[in-house]
Structure 1
Amino acid sequence: MQNRVQAIFESLPTLTWVLAGAVWLAWAPACPAVTKAKEQVQKIVIQYPPQFQDLVKLKEIQRLDRPLLLHQALEQFDIRNSDLGRLLVTGDLELIVGGGVQAPPEHTAAQVMLLEALGMAPDRPEVLATVAEWHLWELEKPQITNDSLYFHTDLYERWTTLEPDNSAPRIGRAFLYWRMGNRMAAIKECQAALECPVFDNHSRFQQQAVIRACEHVGFSAAAARDRALGIGTGVLKAFRSLATQLLRGSSSDEAESVAALLNRIAQKLQSDCRSLIQEEAVLSARLFCLEYLARLPILREQAVAEQAVVIRRKEALAELLRLHRNRAIRDWTEDRWVAFFNRALEEGEEKAMRYEASGEKR
């Protein structure tokens, strides 16, 4: 059985990668700065499984701000199919979850792994949350099958029952209702989400699972933590899409109440964000809501003032990230990187960046 499962995983298509970026090299203008950047990039080769030196190379690509090359480099930080097969046959729930949730959308092996995890622990909210978040891509398709709708309805019903005070499954279910064409049910779920005292999409469980899975297949400690940091954003991105679509479909009479409701939810969610990408999704939703509120004469002044605050926050986070990438992080030891990632995972990415910045000033 183990050999058969392994064979299935190894037969799945494996992403090939050429880091030299032939397309970029073809169209890049001939100037000294670009030529120097080309020379820097051509020297960067990332191996699999990624080790500490590969993480340093990845950060250099991020600093150079080359999206195509970054996308290609990040593919080397995805666990390969053969290793996913080895994780699956361990029977270890956390390793199986970690291997599945780190994979890109529509990944066949990941679907197998997460369904296996669901079968192993059908009543654990953190497993339900992980499976629901990873499968959100199904709800973003133009056409959704009845089987998919039933699957998601069951997931969110069970998750909500297990954690009635958690707004995360409510938001996910609101997104599901909107995709089913039941707009009023989606708004009702948003109202219920606002009343919930906590938001927990169990991203810490997912991140810890990814760290274990990556280390199990040979990632270095720092590379594994870097891979885990961006996990757990699905429901927040779904909320951004939900807010956009609900407002676009609102009549002039209800736009104020819907925008105000969604803006209040976004304000609560913002305080729970632990990574920059999570907060970026929430801030984008807030700006869209405030744009609608600013159209109403009675609310225009307050909405415009809030817009300015949100824009300043987005700019501050972008500047913080820029400074972090331009800092002398190429000279950091692996221990320092691991400490940074541990702080980011426990306390939040912004706090970790500011802590490092303050340390360099001392």
Structure 2
Amino acid sequence: MIIKDLQVNRRKIPLFMPFKTALRTATEIESIDVTLTLENGIIGRGAAAPTFVITGDSSESIEAALMGPIKDVLIGSDIGHFQTALQGIQSCCVGNPSAKAAADIALHDAYCKLLNVPLHAFLGDKKSLQTCMTIGVDTPEKMADDAKRNIDLGFKVLKVKVGANPSLDIDRIEAIRDVVPKAVKLRLDANQGWAPKQAVQLINDMEKKGLGIEFIEQPVASHDLEGLKFVTERVGIPVMADESLFSAKDTLKLVSGRYVDLLNIKLMKCGGISNAWKIASIAETNGVACMIGSMMEPALSVAAAAHFAAAHPNVKYFDLDAPLWLSEEPEELSYVSEKVILSDLPGIGSVNAVPNTVKG
């Protein structure tokens, strides 16, 4: 079945409230939506969102890559040669992981629709998914209020953003611990906000205070792998790589050198489902568990990540709350408190939009 056309549309989606991390504050996202049309009329859908401070991708660069080299390599090709098409997306240009992810998602969606199977079935499994909820970095009082509200809505795991003004970070976690049950798990994400020695001191202080931290994401700068290893070797709480991980090659270095204990896979960083599968499998071979994460991005690409996470046995943790921050209802997946519900329709699927029980 020949791929006949590829088109791109850009749109902005407001957030319900500002999303604050140590790297940026977002009040809206821009979604670059891609449609891939087969000669029999089947349409595969993908999407990407630019995150300049992490991937280096802008809206303009994503669109240019999709409408340039990616379109050139896909149009006229036979989707029946699915793996060849996937390889073509990855090899047609240097970098551009978010554009590649959008095309990879659309190709998976179209191929699964051609086969008349949901994406999770094509990938081979459908384990249950429970997302954490992100608490943006702010004053200790505001973060405690946000944490309490989300626990009341049914979330049992909170991903807490820290790293902006590190001197406040322990106060932030203590304030949250004061208002949430002890059974609630806290995952910290410093977004590269700490220096290595500072990270060790902060993390060890948190351990001594018994703050119940499950793991720490990206405590130091993405390029500082030796600093990342320095922290990992000197703290008891597991350390996870996020911004340091983009590719299968990065995975090999991180896990073989024991730079970290855990990995955070994001489709927008690695270039899509096909590369995410490679990363998770390499990590599995080396005994390193993975989390599926998401940028602040549209529901379609988060749904694709969720299908991948439901299928790969080495994805043990789930951070899929991005659609819950958006002003539009997700169509490709749904939420019941912390539970992420995947569609069984062909491809990535869609569900009837229903009022979202966790927005407020």
TM-score, normalized by length of structure 2?
Answer: 0.30
Larger Rg: 1
The structure carrying a bigger helix percent of its residues is 1
TM-score, normalized by length of structure 1?
Answer: 0.30
